[in-house]
Amino acid sequence: MQPYTVLAYIRSEEQIDRAARRTSLPFAKNPPGAAWHDMALEIYKQFKPLGPVRLHFIGINKVEPDKGHGMALLVGCPNQEPDQLPPLLLEWGVRVFGSPPRRVTRAGKKGCIWTSPSEDGKGSDEIIMVRGDPVATNWYKSDVREEK
């Protein structure tokens, strides 16, 4: 049985906050902590019509107060290859995030710890899906075939 994997765009709180500040959206001038959260929700809203997506707030590697937080925008369905994604979803993702999605693999059969090759290609990042349930999703129950 293959490991449970998803494709995701992973960004740190700092990366999302910088992106939010460069927009003219109403929350661009919100205090740190609020702007990145609102920007993550806006990104989800923009991607939702393009195909199956889920938004998770995550921890990246060592999580400390006010450090190591971010978002994972899961695209496609579990165990799907990038070439199986809806073309517009993949194209829009590359345009917005500047790269294809990263493969994220669950460490074990259940739980909140996932791993992903690091962006620089040297090692891997530990991704902690803080909550089992996503913050927002347009996946149908039939799209999710988690291991029991």
Please, are residues 42 and 54 in contact by the beta-carbon 8 Å criterion?
A: no
Instruction: Give the pLDDT of residue 144.
Output: 43
pLDDT higher than 80, residue 67: no
Q: Which of 39-43, 91-95, 130-134 has the lowest average pLDDT? A: 130-134
pLDDT tens, 57-66? 998 887 676 6
Cα of 22 vs its chain's centroid, Å: 20
pLDDT tens, 95-140? 999 999 999 998 877 778 888 888 777 888 888 876 556 677 776 5
- Within 10 angstroms of residue 74's Cβ, the number of other Cβ atoms is 22
pLDDT tens, 12-27? 999 999 999 999 999 9
